[in-house]
């Protein structure tokens, strides 16, 4: 998680366009987590595994390869899907 914080603080926050991503993260992520946590235990486990496998690992690998645009692309794709599923509906 430290790599993600560093990426957020050193790369996203300094770019005005990307800073909006950080703002949305703080606005919506706690609500998404709360909704996931309210699922039955098996669904909750599956959802967190899916986030880890499809979002966290690929983003981290892109960070390790210094591919900032890929990190942002992967993150936005998954974050928007989670927001649509747990917030917008």
Q: What is the DSSP letter of 39?
A: S
Distance CA(36)–CA(34), nearest Å, equals 5
Exposure string of 54-70, with b = 16+ CB inside 10 Å and e = fewer, is: ebbebbbebbeeeeeee
| Residue 52, helix vs strand vs coil | helix
The pTM is what? Answer: 0.85
Instruction: Tell me which range, 10-14, 21-25, 66-70, is most confidently predicted by mean pLDDT.
Output: 66-70
Confidence of residue 23 (pLDDT cuts 50, 70, 90): confident
Q: In this structure, are residues 77 and 22 in contact, taking their beta carbons and an 8 Å threshold? A: no
CA 19 vs. chain centroid, Å, equals: 14
Confidence of residue 25 (pLDDT cuts 50, 70, 90): confident
Report the first-to-last Cα separation within the chain, whole angstroms.
Answer: 28
Give 77-86 pLDDT, tens digit per residue.
Answer: 999 999 999 9
Query: What's the rounded mean pLDDT across residues 54-73?
Result: 92
């Amino acid at each position: 998680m430290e790599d993600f914080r560093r990426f957020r603080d050193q790369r996203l926050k300094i770019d005005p366009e990307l800073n909006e991503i950080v703002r949305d993260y703080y606005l919506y992520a706690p609500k998404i987590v709360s909704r996931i946590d309210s699922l039955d235990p098996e669904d909750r486990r599956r959802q967190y595994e899916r986030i880890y496998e499809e979002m966290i690992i690929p983003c981290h690998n892109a960070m390790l390869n210094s591919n900032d645009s890929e990190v942002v692309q992967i993150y936005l794709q998954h974050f928007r899907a989670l927001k649509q599923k747990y917030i917008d509906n």
